[in-house]
Structures are given as C-alpha cells and as structure tokens.
Structure 1
Amino acid sequence: MSGTLYNPCEPFQAYNRLETRTREESLNSALSAKIHDPLWMLARQWQFGEFKGEDTGSAIESKVAIKTQRLNYFKPNYGNWKNIDDTVPMEITVEKLHQQLGIRSAYYLGKKLLRQIDQSLHGHAGYAPGMYSKNLISRFGFQAPMLNDGDEIQDLARYAQVMARSQAYNYLKTLEGKALDAARILKAQNANPNFINGLSISNPSGFIQPAHLTHINTTLQLWKVQLIEEFNLPELQEEQSWIPEKMEYAFDTASVKLTEEDLRTLHAESYFQGHLDWFSFDQIHSSDALELPDIPTNPIERHVLSLIPSEASIAGMPVSRWWEMEDGKVDLGNMSASDTDLAKISITQYAMNYSNDWLVIPFDVKSGSLCEVEGIVIKDVFGFRTHVEAAHKQDGNSGLGWGMYGQSILNENKEYLGMDKKIFIPDSLAKTLESEPIEKIKMIRDEMANTVWGIETIIPDLMGSGISGSDTANRLEQLIESFMDQEKAIEEIEANDPKYLAEAESNGQVRQWKPPLKYILSNKISENWIPFIPIHKPGQAINREIIFQRASMPRTISGIEPHAVRPQTGFLRVGIADNNQQNKPYFIHEEEVPRAGVTLIGQYQLTRWYSGKRLVWYGARKITGKGEGSSGLRFDLLTDNK
C-alpha cells in the first residue's frame, strides 16, 4: 500500500438561486421579472460587455434611391430577338416545349374545329351543317395500327409500339373512322399552311367548294392560334430554348434605353432547375451589334422613398430584448458540429453574433426589371445620418468586387470581367402545379460496359400522361413474338403436310439435327435502355475530347431481320423521324452526365398569371441522379439450345 490519499468524491459545491415569488392570483407580476436594484442591472450589463459598445443609436429612418428599367427583348437559343410578351411569364417562354397531343386532347380539339367550321360557314349558299365532316374524318381521322405481313421492319416495330399501349390502342380502335384527329390536322398545317386548298373539288380527290375555301382557311388559322395559346406550344423549332446536347435551356434577354451605351444583355447559359431566378443570368459584353426589332421608349425610372427600417429575422435568431422568450423551434445552441463541420460552425456563429444586425427596407419592383440601388442613408436616434455603400464597392475601383445578387460581367469568351451592381428580377412564378411525369429518363454511367445508358423509366402513353417504360418494352417484345409465332405456326402446318414431306424426300431434303448448345453474340437488354457510346468529338485533330453519341441495341426476334431499337421519349428521339428512320445523329456532352448521373423529367405545369389567367405548358427539368449502374450486358455466350 502506498501512502497516497485517494478521495473518490468531488468537493462539495453549493449554489444560490434567486426565484420570483408571488402571493397574488395573477402571474403578471412574477413574469414581468421586476428588478428593484439598479446596481444589479448595471452589473449584469458590465458582465455582458454592454459598456464596451460603440455608442451607436438604433435606426429610425431610412432614405433609399433606386433606379429600375424593364427588359425589352428576348432571344431563344435558336431564334432571333423579339419583343418580350408580358402576357406570358418569361419562365414559360423559356421552358415551353413541343409535346405530342394526347388522344383525348386531339379528340376534343377535332370536335371544336368541326364546330368552328360549321359556325364560320353558317348561312353561306350551298352549305349544310356537317357537310364536310365525313370527308375530313376520312382524310384526317384517328387510325388504329395493325400488324401485316408486308410491313417494313421499322413500320412493324412502330405499329407494335402503339399496340403495346393497350389503353391508347383501345381508344384508337373506338375512334377509328368516327372522329377527327386534331394532331394530324396540326401536322398538315405546319407542313403546308394552305394544305386545305388541295382539297378543292377542282382536284380529283377534293370535296370542298371553292367558295368555302377562304372561310375554312381562316377558321383553321384561328383554331391553330387558339391551340398554341392554350398549350403554350412553340410555333417553330427556332422558338425553343432547349439544347438537346446539354439537356438544358439557354437564352438571352436585353434591355436598352435610347442609346447603344445603355444596352445590357443578360445570358442564361445553363438553366435546368425548373424555377427561373436571378442566379441563372450573367451579363455579356460583346462588340457585335444586336439586330433588335425596334428602339423602346420606356426610360429608366428613379424612385426615392423614406421608410422606417424593420429588423430582419431568421429562424432561430436570438431576440434583442432582455426578457422576451425566444422561439424554441430552432435550437442553434444544441447543434452538434465537429472540428471539420465548417459550414455548421459558420452558420451558428453568424446566427448567434450577427443575425440581429440586419435591417429590412421593403420596395416593390416590377417583375422583369433591372434594379440598381444608388444609395441608402440611415438616420439613428441621435440624429446622425450614415451613408451605406454597396458591398462590391469596398474593393475600390477595380470592379472585381463580389456582390450577392448581381450578375457577373463576361466577355465574348466567357472570361470574368467584374460584377455589375444591378439586380435582375425575372418573371418567376411563385407557385405552379405539376402533373405526374410524362417522360422520365435516367442517364447513368456503366463503367463495365464503357457506355452511358438513357433509361426511359416513364414514356408517353399517347393519352396525355405517362406509362412505365420497362412494362411497355416487355409487352412490345411479346406482341412481336406472338405475331411471328402465328407466322411460324402457318409454316409448320405447311411443312407437316404429307405432300410437302413427300416432295422434300424426293428432293433429298432431311430434317437437320438440333445441337444441344448454341452461341449468342450478346444477351438481351430491356428495350427502354438506350445506349450512348463514347467517341472522339468530331472536328478535333489535336485535343481529342470525348462526346457521347446515341447508339441502338438490336432487336433480335426469331423470324425477322435484326433491326435497331428506337427510343420512345421525345428527349432521346432527336434526329429520328416518325417512321423510326434516323436522319441525323444525336450527341450529348460528356460533362452533362457526371458519375452521379442525371434524371431528366418532362411534365405539364399549370399556373395563374395576373388577372387570374390560366396557363398550361410542357417543360423539362434536370436533377441529380443516384449514382452509377450496370446493364448486365455480356458478349460471347454459350447457352443451352432450348
């Protein structure tokens, strides 16, 4: 035993606690926490460092000078400059895409067109209600596909794609020869605006009287305008801002006063979030003159207002009053952060130390405007006035300062030149209703197969909604196999005919022996998996960058020639005609498909604009994927010959 004294108990500690006590029925006196000793309050102020203050007063008045200017022009990625349409938010103008009309919509729009034709020709000589309905339906009515022996291979696959969608196929069978297909009328109208003139009775197959052609043409034009406005369709391909190679939107918008020096061009290089905001834009300085439609007359507006500033508040912010109970929904003091959690530590320190140092001065800005704060003057309780400068001016006159809500100034080569102090308030929508996805594609990397797959998880069901891509692919393959099995059954019946057998024996033909094993070049992959193979970017001899090119898996079914499997979503069918023939290749930049992958979603959206106007459009957005995947693609297989 050593002589060291071991004391397992800690020293006894005593605490004194002061508590309020009331002998009244009401708790108002106790909760007020009255202090009758001023010296105690002074000691508490000294304890909290109140005597080390800067002797600054509280803000009681603010005067702000602000300049605003509306943007005048908009340019889609593939189009020309045009005036901004205030009746439609910029977010819809950017996002709107072409989407095939569903069978339901095509049916009701077809009925509407026939009704409008009757109304436009009502009372005209030689016209009776419904006079042209039967002939128009025979020319542009709904058609249900059928599989025939003489069909081309891709036509056979295209018909099977429609028949695999059982609900759409049943609708087509019901409406066949009974209703007008508005989608076919719109397609003919886009191909030839005066196609109705070819249906005049002066032509061998015509049925429309020449006196009625002008009224029907006018009705068709009005019907098309109403259809485009109802679904917010881009009338031409050049009016779309969608870039297939990037799977993103890109567009420009400009503002000009009266001179060339006042011109400001804002460029959105990469917009895919589904909600348009200030951070999507950069300011471009270019020496090229813009071909603008006109010179607007709306000048820069200047506003000077005086307001009482109010304290900005955030969730979990400590209150500035001594005896006010704080909201316990956000407990920043209970946030657990290790030494490496710099973000948590920074946010907590800011919220505890500086969160109540901010003031709010409200000002209503018209959407679609550039806004510049010229200056802010704050008056405190002591009568002193302080001029508040912008944060980006603290770096002197270099122009390279950082601003929270400004646009980066770039040159033609996208090099950073500085920060613009103006703030852009785009036509963003506060709330939208989104439908279930009509199209959903998962772009994943498959390192084992050294390729990228575009998995069509959801494809259009031709009715106006979405359907499972894998289930439809399985039904399509089964449909073609069952059709080919019927052909095989007919051949086997002929082959087993006694006359056929006798003729074969006389010619020396015998049945061949079936081997137990068979060689397969590769296994089958579900048809909703579309491959993108890496190739060298065309036109580069020195810097051989990689780009992904859309490829095709072969459809191998016994009895027909192997042929390419085509995608069924509009996003992946770029360059593929309606007859499934590829007119041009489709490329995707390598950086657009990271290791985490991306998910591309196309859906209808609904919102309300000013005056309660209802707006519907079809748009796309891109989100981050869930990592790599494997298709299970294998080559050179030896399997049982069952």
Structure 2
Amino acid sequence: MAMFRYEPVPRDTGVEEALAAVTHDAAWFLARQYAFGEFGGDDAASPVDVSVTQERHLLDGWHGGSRNDATEWQSYDPSSMVLEELVEEESQDGPDPRLVLAGALRWRRALAAAGLLALLPAFARTCAFGPSGALAPDASAAAVRDRLPDPVALAPWLERLAARDQEAAARFGAAEDTREALATAAAAWLAWWTARIPSQPHTPPRTWDPHRMEYSFSVRASTLADVPLHVGEYNGGHLDWWAFDAAPARTPVAEAALFRDERKTIPAPARFGGMPVSRLWEMEDALVDFGSIDASPADLGRLLLVAYATVYENDWFCAPLPAQVGSLARVVDCTVTDVFGGATVLAPAAAEDPEWGVYGLSESMGAAAGHSGDGEAGPAPSPWFYRPASLPGGLESPPMESVLFLRDEGINLAWAVEEKVTDRAGEPIDRYARWIAAAARSAQAASPAASGPNGAGADGAGADGAGADGAGPDRPVRYRVATTVPAHWYPLVPELLDGQPDQEQYRLRLVRLIRDAWAPPSPLGRLLTETDWLHEEEVPRSGVRVERSRQFSRWRDGDAHSWTTRRKRSGTGSGSSGLRFDVLEET
C-alpha cells in the first residue's frame, strides 16, 4: 500500500500571490485533474433525504444485586429519580449524624427563646451522648458535645414534658411557672424531629458487594422485559452508557409492540475541526493541522486517518435522531433518498463488521466483538442504544472514610488499612494519628522514668535505651516473637475457596488481631465491618482504595438530592507493615 501527499513549499514571506489565485493556463489545470484521476470517479448520487424509524422503550424498573438475583423489580422514573442515588444509597442504622447535632442545637435555641437556657446542663447530664470508646471525639468536639443533649435520648423525655408530666419537669429542675413554656417548646421540637425521623427504618436494595467492593444492579423497561441492562462492576461516581451490558436475548421487530418514532431529515455533511473547506476564500481552522502530523511510513493507522480527514471527508453525512433521556432504543429502518430519486435501505454497520459497534451496548462472552472465546463467530452485537439519565455536576465532600487495600510482599500477606473513619457526629478521625497518640501514651505509662526532655530520663538514656553519645556495644537486648503492627492495619489471610484442597482459587479473609488494651481488635469503619473476606483478584499489586463521601446534586426537576457514595479507586502500590518475626532489639 503506497501513500502519497503533495504539498506546496512556499519560499516567499508574503501571501499576496497566493491570495490572488491567478490562473494562467486553464488547460494545465484540466491536465492535472486528469493526471490525478479526478475524472475517473463514479457518478455517485448525493443524499437529499433520510427517513429513520426507531423503536423506543422508557426504562421504568430496577433492582439491586447480581444478574441472577430474584429480588422484586422496583419502580424507576428517570425524570424524577437519580439512578446513582438509588444505587449508592446506604441503609441507616439510626439518625444521620448531622441531624443529631442539628437536633441538639435546635433544642438549645428553643430553651434560649423560652428563657430556660439555665436548664440545658440538666438535659445534657440526663441525655448525655455517652462515651464512644475508640471513636471518641477530639477535645474541641467533646467540649461542645458535653454541653448538648443527645436527641435520641432526649425525644422520650420531651414527649413526657409535652404531656405535662410533672415528674419529668421536676427531673430537670423546671420551676412551676416555667413548665407550660417548657411543654410548648418540647412539643415544637418533637414536631420538627418526628418529621425528619422515619417511623420505619428505610432499607434500600442491597447493591454493594462487600466481597468485591463495587456495586451491582440492573435496569429494564417493562415493555422490553427480556432485554435488561446489567451493571456488574460499578465503582461509584458517575453512570454512563458504557457501564451497562445488554442481555443476549434477541427481540424481533413486531409492529404491535413498537413505539415508533419516525423522522425525515436532510442529511448534513460531517464537520470536524481542521477539515478542508469547500470554499476558496474560507480560512481553515488553524488549531488542527493535519499536514504537520508526524507519522512513519509503517504507521498506517495514522496515515489513514490523515487521508480520511483531507481527502474523503466530504463523503460522510450526519442525520440526527433524538433519543429520549432514560430510554432504550434501536433503529428499525433507515432509508436514504438520493438526488436521482433512488431509495437505499441501510443496515447496521455492526451487522457486517462487529468492530463498528463502538457505541452499542456490549454483551457477555465477547459478543460485543462478534467472537466467542473459542475463536468461533458469536452473535451479532446488541442493536440497542441506551441514553442514560446521567448525573450532572454536583458537590462532593472530602472522604469521610477511607480504606487502603495493599499487598505486603515481604511477608506474603495482604492488608486492609483503615486510614480514616467517622465518629458518631460524622466527623472524620485519622486512625494513624490516633494510633501514634495512643502508642505514645502507652509508652510513657510503661516507662515513667522517661520524663526528661525528648523522652530522656535522669541518666541521660533516650527512649531507645541508647546513651547520650549513642555508644554502648554492651547494651542489653531482648527477644521478641513478632513486632507490633499498627492498630489500624488488619491482615487479609489467604484461604482456599470453599475449603477444598484440590482447588487453586483463594480468597482473602479479614482477620481480627489480639492487640494491646488501647488498640481495638476489630475495624471501626463501616466498609470493613460489612465484610469478612474479599476475592483474591480484588487486591492487585497496585492496591485499591475505597472511600465513602457525601454527594449533593440537583436533578432535572430542580429537586435537591443528597446521599452517601462509595468510590473504588486505584491504590498506591505495595507496602510494608513492619511486621517481623524472631527479632532481637535493644532495650
């Protein structure tokens, strides 16, 4: 295959002669056209009319879980429901942490408005938030929380106060002349609180797979029940058409079952930046210069792209076909009428060459490429096109929980590292910082002599037992069976899948370690609490980081939507926990 390209090489600095477009010999131009084969073309007609008919089905159902999950389909309205919120919504074990703090502050303002702010300490003592153990807030947050009551424990007491219970009023030290105002404030607070706390706990469909750390769900149209769209590896964030896979079922075109949308349009030439223009005095786009593309003679892909962009660009036309948002559609008829009155029926390009189905929905077992795993030709690519109701740009908070999964090649083990968790008020806690602080307090309590500057005692020995001059070859040593692992590192121990020794498939089981009294043996965050094992391939050498964050967005109808999302991102590579066995260390 030979590729040639002719370009002028200007030597003048000006463009006046080129802009003049002086023609000295018209016969010479005709001869050059003949030499280049411009007169050897076929008498091909140009399209003047395109008639396109599409079959459209609006999605109206969805369910969470795997493809074979038998859960009941739930209603889905793309015009008012955010699919990302439906999929990523978490079940609530109790009131939202932000609502808890808002309720406590609201009761404080209610007491202040009624002139009963002096009763707030009594409510804070009776309805205290209580200790949180390893999830205890820091000093500044605890100072605020100790002065406010817990709304969950406060609600039963306010119900008694709203009912004019004299014993409850005396419990908080309310005087006789202030009990009526206290009952009115309690009734107003209860009306606000009960309107935001559901009477029945909401349990959304389970879409999160804790063994793979990703979402799985399906959507469908009830008018096309045998063609559901399945998403099996959704990592969170944003749903688009490429995340969906179509079922391999084939639905024949039936006139009675079609919702037809027939349109007749005039095709327009395909346009792109930098393409040659058809008018003599029109300047081309200078941002794209196909003549400056660097390609070797063997780079056929790039050369063919340049040839298409500079020679055959006027052979392509566009006929728009609007698709409804949240619908599944396929083209059932496409007829092109040319200038000679001839009608040509076009078939899908992917029917002859599956590689052209770049925007169609893929199918399992390599059907999207038109080949099966054994080399034989598979079924044709799916003819369906899905236009999703995609989430617009919104606001996302910093991660409030983060877990890093990594491999420790030094000890042939994988780890789940809890980097960040949330306390009861929803505030993030850095587990590494907590571990460092707790280890320092434990070391200080175990070595009371280390009270001098920089941890040095009266004898000048540092925290590592070395003298001030760093010498001392006769320093005592001690034997340790194993070194200490950080409190927020949890091992993932490989075990045979199903416990059968004849198999070579493994899974990674999350193990709780016996640690010091100040180090919790079990994970504190929600991500690791919900799982007890992972598939072995879900923790690659590059590592994986899973995060939880809050997301806020407005939908097409203007309604505000807020939920907690989970994202699965790439990790930071392999790491080391510092775990060693049979160690001699200096005291």
| 1:450–1:533 Cα contact (<8 Å) kept | no
After TM superposition, the score normalised by the length of structure 1 is 0.67
Where does residue 556 of structure 2 map in the other structure? 610
Contact 2:135 2:422 in 1 (8 A): no
- Aligned match of 1:291: none
Which residue number in structure 2 is paired with residue 516 of structure 1?
A: 476
Match of 2:102 in 1: 108
Q: Do the aligned residues in 2 keep the contact of 1:65 with 1:303 (CA within 8 Å)? A: yes
Look up the match of 1:173. Answer: 143
Q: Distance in 2 between matches of 1:96 and 1:636?
A: 47
SS at match of 2:530: coil
1:256 and 2:222 correspond: yes
Q: Tell me the distance in 2 between the aligned counterparts of 1:16 and 1:264.
A: 58
Contact 2:103–2:193 (Cα < 8 Å) also in 1: no
Distance 1:537 1:108, change over 3 A: same
What secondary structure sits across from 1:567 in the alignment?
A: coil
- Distance between the aligned counterparts of 2:403 and 2:342, measured in 1? 61
Counterpart of 2:492? 532
Report the Cα offset of residue 177 of structure 1: 4.2
Normalised TM-score (structure 2): 0.72
Deviation for aligned residue 1:252: 1.3
- CA shift for structure 1 position 529: 3.0
Aligned mates of 2:499, 2:73 — CA distance in 1: 30
Cα distance 1:629–1:160, how it changes in 2: closer, same or farther (>3 A)? closer
Per the alignment, do residues 517 and 372 of structure 1 end up closer, same or farther by CA in structure 2, a change over 3 Å counting? same
Q: In the TM superposition, what are the counterparts of 1:209-228 in structure 2 within 5 Å?
A: 220-225=193-198
Q: Does 1:440 align with 2:402?
A: yes
CA 1:84 to 1:304, structure 2 compared with 1: closer, same or farther past 3 Å?
A: same
Q: Is structure 2 residue 61 aligned with structure 1 residue 73?
A: yes
Aligned residue number for residue 287 of structure 2:
329
The aligned residue for residue 266 of structure 1 is: 229
Asked whether the 8 Å contact 2:421–2:525 carries over to 1, the reply is yes
Name the SS for the 1:572 alignment partner: helix
Amino acid at match of 1:603: S
CA contact (8 A) 1:436 1:465 kept: no
Match of 2:574 in 1: 628
> Contact conserved, 1:113 with 1:223, CA < 8 A, in 2?
no
Deviation at 1:485, TM superposition (A): 6.6
Matching residue within 469, 472, 478 for 2:440:
478
Q: 1:450 to 1:205 in 2, by over 3 A?
A: farther
List aligned pairs for 1:184-583, cutoff 5 A: 220-225=193-198, 235-236=202-203, 238-257=204-223, 263-272=226-235, 274-284=237-247, 301-315=259-273, 317-319=275-277, 324-336=282-294, 357-394=315-352, 403-409=357-363, 418-460=380-422, 464=426, 466=428, 468-481=430-443, 516-538=476-498, 540=500, 542-556=502-516, 560=517, 565-574=521-530
In structure 1, list runs of 5 or more residues that go unmatched: 1-14, 118-126, 146-157, 189-194, 229-233, 287-298, 490-513, 576-585
**Do the aligned partners of residues 342 and 41 (structure 1) sit closer, same or farther apart at CA in structure 2, a change above 3 Å counting?**
closer
Change (3 A) 1:488 1:281: same
Partner of 2:461: none
Residues 1:383 and 1:322: Cα distance change in structure 2 (over 3 Å): farther
Question: Is contact 1:394-1:401 (8 Å) kept?
Answer: no
Task: State the match for 2:469 in structure 1.
Answer: none
Give the Cα–Cα distance (whole angstroms) in 1 for the partners of residues 574 and 59 of structure 2: 43
CA distance in 2 between partners of 1:348 and 1:457 (Å): 50
CA distance in structure 1 between the partners assigned to 2:100 and 2:33 by the alignment: 76
Aligned residues: 523
Q: Paired residue for 1:121?
A: none
Deviation of residue 631 (structure 1)? Answer: 3.1
Mapped partners of 2:143, 2:449: distance in 1: 24
Q: Distance in 1 between matches of 2:233 and 2:9?
A: 64
Three-state SS of the structure 1 residue aligned to 2:576 is coil
In structure 1, what residue type is equivalent to 2:389? D
User: Equivalents in 1 of 2:357, 2:146: separation in Å?
Assistant: 62
CA displacement at 1:568 relative to structure 2: 3.8
The partner residue of 2:41 within 46, 53, 73 is: 53
Q: How much does 1:171 deviate?
A: 1.8
Aligned-residue offset at 1:430: 3.3
Matched, 1:97 2:90: yes
Could you tell me how far 1:245 is from its partner in structure 2?
A: 0.7
Q: Provide the C-alpha distance between the structure 1 equivalents of 2:221 and 2:344, rounded to a whole number of angstroms.
A: 33
Contact 1:63 1:306 in 2 (8 A): yes
Verify the 8 A CA contact 2:542 2:570 in the aligned structure 1: yes
Q: Which stretch of structure 1 is more off in the superposition, 53-62 or 340-349?
A: 340-349
Q: Is the 8 A contact 1:457 1:468 kept in 2?
A: yes
Give the unaligned 5+ runs of structure 2: 1-7, 173-178, 250-256, 373-377, 452-473
CA distance, structure 1, for counterparts of residue 311 and residue 572 of structure 2 = 38
Would you say the 8 A contact 2:50–2:266 is kept in 1? yes
SS in 1 for 2:195: helix
Deviations 1:11-46 (A, max 9, x none): xxxx99797999xxxx7x963635464334434544
Give the C-alpha shift of residue 305 in structure 1.
1.6
Determine helix, strand or coil for the equivalent of 1:56: coil
Percent identity over paired residues = 29
CA distance in 2, matches of 1:325, 1:216: 70
For 2:345, give the aligned amino acid: H
- The 2-side partners of 1:336 and 1:606 are apart by 45
What does the per-residue CA deviation read over 1:337-367, in whole Å, with 9 as the maximum and x for residues that have no partner? 5689787667666655666644333333222
RMSD: 4.9
Residue 84 of structure 1: how far off its partner (Å): 0.8
Contact kept, 8 Å, 2:351 with 2:381, in 1: the verdict is: no
The amino acid of 1:423's aligned partner reads: F
Cα deviation, 1:125-153, whole Å, max 9, x if unaligned, reads xx99999998876565434x3xxxxxxxx
CA distance 1:380–1:131, shift in 2 (3 Å): farther
1:11 is matched with none
- Which residue, out of 16, 26, 49, partners 1:38? 26
The residue type equivalent to 1:72 in the other structure is D
